[in-house]
Amino acid sequence: MRVPVPHGGKVSAVLVPRPMAFLAVQVHFEGQPSLGRQVQFYKYADAKNNKGDSVGDVMTTDVDGVVRLPRLVATGHYVCEIDGQDHAVVSTVDRLKDTYPVYLPVDAEVVDLHAHAPDGDTTDEGGN
Amino acid sequence: MPVRHAVKQGDCILSIASQYGFYDWKFVWNHADNAELRERRTDATLLAAGDVVVVPDPRPKTLNLATGAVHRLVVHRTPVALRIQFLDIEEEPLAGRAYELSFSGITLDGQTDGNGWLEKEIPATQRKIALILAMGDGKPTKGPRYEWDIHVGHLDPLTEPSGLMQRLANLGYWPADEASEEILPYAVCAFQADHGLEMTGEVDDKTKDKLKEIHGGF
């Protein structure tokens, strides 16, 4: 923090511990960044993913599937609504270049290719 | 012969005056050759790197003192008081919070007043101060706390992009991990949105005035 040299009765500074970050998501569909998606951010109201007040205007994803709110927001969780249907809870990111990934459809089960195979599974591609 | 002192980051009129042996910085600041600088920098404590301060020749005071006696000479120096207000994210005062200031092996402690103010006298030449403020009711050194390194005399004028960034950072409108000027429109928009200004991301006069009002009189 930088303050001027104090003199007279002047105020040196007002300090506000206000953690701020970026609200940016990258939308993926079928493994690819998804262009032209309509994204609206909302405040995160509760643990049931209910949305609060809207944050910013509706934005459209670019060729990289990215939308970035043009202002800093308080660090934390927000709800991201895509094309007026899918709702995902997203986190802010600390750096301008970073994005939070959202995979469509939001409620689809994610297949973890790196998960350990259950005992007795013989689907190892490297096997003979 | 007056000296032309090129200001570098961290210089201020007090440090420059002190460097050349002047106790009263106003003697330097009010020198006729600094008229243009005074017009450009309306606040003597806010100089930018690249400014030039003309330092006049010192005028030593002559005293006639008798030999063989002890004489006590008193130098009148104006103490300087660091005045910082702490606000929470709702811009409500962080009142009654214990704090600790550390510099040059000295530790000063105290408690913010009802309006979140810290006011403490510090040496005029002190440039770096470690500040700890308790988040809750406890001691600042135990439990959750905020920590700042305060660089005294390093605030640039509001007319400079760096001065704007520094004020936004003091008010919390700057992510901790970023220093790039690319962030400025994002920070300005956040400030404008929180203070009822049109969210343009541009640093117009209204935004500057509001920033000056919220941050303090500099």
CATH number at residue A64: 2.60.40.10
Write out the residue range of the structural domain in which residue A51 sits: 20-104
Tens of pLDDT, residue by residue over A51-99, are 888 999 999 999 999 999 999 999 999 999 999 887 899 999 999 999 9
Determine the pLDDT at residue B123.
Answer: 79
Give chain A positions within 8 Å (CB) of B146: 17
A97 contact B CB<8A: no
Distance of CA A22 to the CA centre of its chain: 8
- Give a yes or no: residue A114 inside a domain: no
- CB contact (8 A) between residue A72 and residue B46: no
Tens of pLDDT, residue by residue over A2-29, are 777 666 666 678 888 888 999 999 999 9
Q: Cα(B24)–Cα(B15) distance, rounded to whole angstroms? A: 11
**ipTM for this prediction:** 0.77
- Give a yes or no: residue A39 inside a domain: yes
Facing A14 at nearest CB: one of B46, B154, B216? B216
Per-residue pLDDT band at A128 (split at 50, 70, 90): very low
Q: Give the DSSP H or E segment for B191.
A: helix B184-194
B47 closest CA partner among A95, A26, A96, A5: A5
Eight-class DSSP state of B104? T
Token pair 């300087």 in the structure block, residue: B80
Q: How, if at all, do strands B145-152 and A2-3 pair?
A: parallel
- Give a yes or no: residue A36 inside a domain: yes
Distance (Å) from the C-alpha of residue A87 to the closest C-alpha of chain B? 24
- Give a yes or no: residue A72 inside a domain: yes
B164 closest CA partner among B118, B116, B205: B205
Interface list for B 28-87 with A (CB within 8 A): 43-46, 78, 80-87
Determine the pLDDT at residue B60.
Answer: 78
Lowest-confidence range among A99-103, A109-113, B51-55? A109-113
Determine the pLDDT at residue A126.
Answer: 47
- Give a yes or no: residue A71 inside a domain: yes
B143 contact A CB<8A: no
Domain count, chain A: 1
Tokens found for residue B185: 């429109």
Phi, psi of B193, rounded to the nearest 5 degrees:
-60, -40
A39: pLDDT strictly greater than 90: yes
Nearest-10 Cα torsion for B165, B169, B173, B176:
110
- Give a yes or no: residue A46 inside a domain: yes
Distance (Å) from the C-alpha of residue A56 to the closest C-alpha of chain B? 10
Mean pLDDT (10-residue bins), chain B, 218 residues: 86 80 84 91 80 88 91 77 88 93 93 92 83 86 86 84 89 82 93 93 91 78
- Give a yes or no: residue A121 inside a domain: no
Phi, psi of B27, rounded to the nearest 5 degrees:
-65, -40
Phi, psi of B141, rounded to the nearest 5 degrees:
-90, -5
Determine the pLDDT at residue A13.
Answer: 81
- Give a yes or no: residue A13 inside a domain: no
- CB contact (8 A) between residue B148 and residue A10: no
Determine the pLDDT at residue A90.
Answer: 94
Give chain B positions within 8 Å (CB) of A9: 81, 83
